[in-house]
Amino acid sequence: MHRENNILTLLCINISIGKEKIMILIKNAEVYAPKYLGKKDILIEGTKVKKIADYIEINLPDNLVETIDLSDKILIPGLIDQHVHITGGGGEAGPSSRVPESNLRDFISCGVTTVLGLMGTDGISRSLENLYAKAKALNEDGITCYMSTGSYSYPSVTLTGSVERDIYLIDLCIGVKIAVSDHRSSNITSEELIRLATEARRGGLISGKSGIVTMHMGSGKKRLSPVLAAIKESDVPVKNFIPTHVNMRSSELLEDCVEFAKIGGTMDFTAGFSAEDNSTEADKIFQLLDRGVKDSLITVSSDAFGSQPRFDEEGKCIGLTYSTSNTLMQLLNALVSKGMSLEQALKFFTVNPARVLGLEGIKGTIGETADADLVVLDRDMRIISVMSKGKIAMADEKVMMKGKFEL
């Protein structure tokens, strides 16, 4: 122990007295990484987790180290929300139905520290230029945000002229969005989906990114058949195809997803809009697990700031609302209250989406060298504090990290 303390001291000998604190020492936290680690101390240096141990002591002046005692508290990774309309979605009932864009506090207050931003139905008044600027702003303000090119339509709208070039040339772009089996889609065929997925796959390979195709699934008659056909008829790996909203449509679509999972595909659930809704969505996850779907093949996102329209039999929009990322914790709590371990339930919101986004070991986990994205819960599973990239974003239920124009 003495040798470890000396090493930690030597690492910081070049830090002069009076500067901003350069380390945070978390004591006595009950850690779910999401794997249960038990009671641990965690040392944060800069944006990273530097050390995890049963006991850590640092011989440095108090003005260089902030110590936080989390006795009787639970520490989990920052949540990943991989389907967010950060610039606002909607528009299905005309211009006045456009959903407002997100704010930083909307994510911090919900324990979300990593976001994938994308567009929705409206690829005209909503632009990829604005999406990119908003993603950059969220990164500058304190969380981690990526984006997908494209929207509902095919051929995909892009910034550089092609999906492959967008993924390769745009630093924050990791994949493409498309709509499948939806009356708002371009009725994309399996052949067109193969071409799109191949572009995304190549762009991902040469840029070192995931190159995923996020597929908004509607309630159309073809359900998942264009996706299953594209996988069968091409050499694009199944991991590049990510169908989302699969739980919000029909039992037949979920049945297709069981077949999708059998070939190794990962499906994305959309959290419900209320605690009551999320009780139902939790039951669907249990049903899939009972059917043999591996828990590593399910992720959960919020569809935050994207509209949830209701259409009549003639396709007229008769109602519209939207949600925020707070639905993630609602669904997490529903799963745990129904008997799932916190360790297992957390996978859907942390390590699983991290793998899908190509961020495994960096995001969605509490581990040495991982980003210091952490959420503190009390014993009632309420969010108390949040850390994003090593900075205190929320403390004692008060949001500290805000965008430049947020009150």
Buried b (16+ CB within 10 A) or exposed e, 12-30: beebeeeeeebbbbbbebb
In eight-state DSSP terms, residue 371 is: B
Q: Which residues are catalytic?
A: 303
Other residues' Cβ atoms within 10 Å of the Cβ of residue 88:
22
**Nearest to 108, CA basis, from 407, 384, 335:** 384
Bridge partners (DSSP) listed for residue 38: 31
In eight-state DSSP terms, residue 370 is: S
Rounded (10°) angle between helices 326-337 and 275-290: 60
Residue for token digits 């994308």? 118
Rg (CA), the chain: 22
Sequence-distant (≥ 6) Cβ neighbours of residue 208 within 8 angstroms: 358
Phi, psi of 139 (to 5 degrees): -65, -45
Q: Take residue 292 and report the two structure tokens written for it.
A: 């043999």
Instruction: Report how far residue 26's alpha carbon sits from residue 24's, in angstroms, rounded to the nearest whole number.
Output: 6
